[in-house]
A and B are shown apart, each in its own frame.
Chain A
């Protein structure tokens, strides 16, 4: 388990360093995710090494968003005065983005014959 956690931190660190060196517009952990995926493709044995910690963290992924979410207390003023507008824009746009994404996927999957197995 400790080895598994260490591996994940090593890849995060590598991602952070890579982003700094190349001035990439993505956050370090996203680059770390790409690096870990690449490493597993090159060395498939890594998969079983990172899986214990990986699955452990992801089981309660939504917990990790709570501290940032509580920041809402600092914006009660804005959310109060423009709350309705924000709610309509946010919900409407999220629905539209979901629909655009899912229909684009299905249309292209049909077109290219990339049916699910």
Chain B
């Protein structure tokens, strides 16, 4: 037992352990998602979060120690955002043709997201700081954190809420759109990119190439629109 404690004391501080566990947890989540036939309810990010969260809790490891190792994965978010230009370019002629629907859907999606989260949140009696942290929830993480901070919310809470929003969007989009009988992949992809940023886009890329490209556009435009509109809308409401 002392041996284990000693090994743990050494390994628990090594970034390699947490990097390996992050990839390992995702491999498990992805395998489960694959085994379910990509059932939207079996979300790989959510499974990985549960595995890792439980591990941190069980080993009393502080989040900053975990992040020492996980930061290498986190860093790749930047290059991945840049790489979204690739599917976007591949579909550029279809995107150009749909310019007006894109702008309309962008404004409708972003405004609805901000207004409805504040109204529902107020009705549910949420604290002001939680409400402010929820305002930019549909934007991609770096934008959302900046907006949350400028509004007086909690950036770290926003980071979590953004991820949960992404998972929620990724889980509901396919059953919701199928139930409504919507077959336009452009509309499906774009709206999930606007409402549920990169995690929604990741789901869209899995389902259909066109949907993925439009989701990438939606995510990028939603980031820009949220950065400008969320502070104005939140100023009116809160």
The 6 closest A-B pairs by CB, nearest first: A101-B191, A85-B124, A101-B109, A54-B86, A67-B70, A104-B108
Please report the C-alpha to C-alpha distance between residue A72 and residue B162 in the assembled complex, in whole angstroms: 11
B19 to chain A, nearest CB (A): 9
Residues in A21-61 with C-beta less than 8 Å from chain B: 25-30, 32-34, 36-37, 40-41, 47, 50-51, 53-55, 57-58, 60-61
* CB-based nearest A residue for B111: A100
Please report the C-alpha to C-alpha distance between residue A37 and residue B184 in the assembled complex, in whole angstroms: 24
Question: Which residue of the partner chain, among B66, B116, B187, contacts A97 with CB atoms under 8 Å?
Answer: B116
* CB-based nearest A residue for B72: A67
**Interface residues on chain A, size class:** 35 or more
B30 to chain A, nearest CB (A): 8
Contacts of A112 in B (CB 8 A): 100-101
Please report the C-alpha to C-alpha distance between residue A75 and residue B155 in the assembled complex, in whole angstroms: 11
The answer to whether B199 touches A62 (Cβ under 8 A) is: yes
Given contacts A26-B227, A58-B83, A78-B157, contact A89 B49 (CB under 8 A): no
A-B contact count (CB 8 A): 334
Contacts of B170 in A (CB 8 A): 62
B114 to chain A, nearest CB (A): 8
Question: Which residue of the partner chain, among A53, A54, A94, A101, contacts B165 with CB atoms under 8 Å?
Answer: A94
Contacts of A37 in B (CB 8 A): 85, 88-89, 92
Contacts of A91 in B (CB 8 A): 168, 172
Residues in B115-168 with C-beta less than 8 Å from chain A: 116-117, 120-121, 124-127, 130, 134, 137-138, 140-143, 146, 156-157, 159-168
Contacts of A96 in B (CB 8 A): 112-113, 116
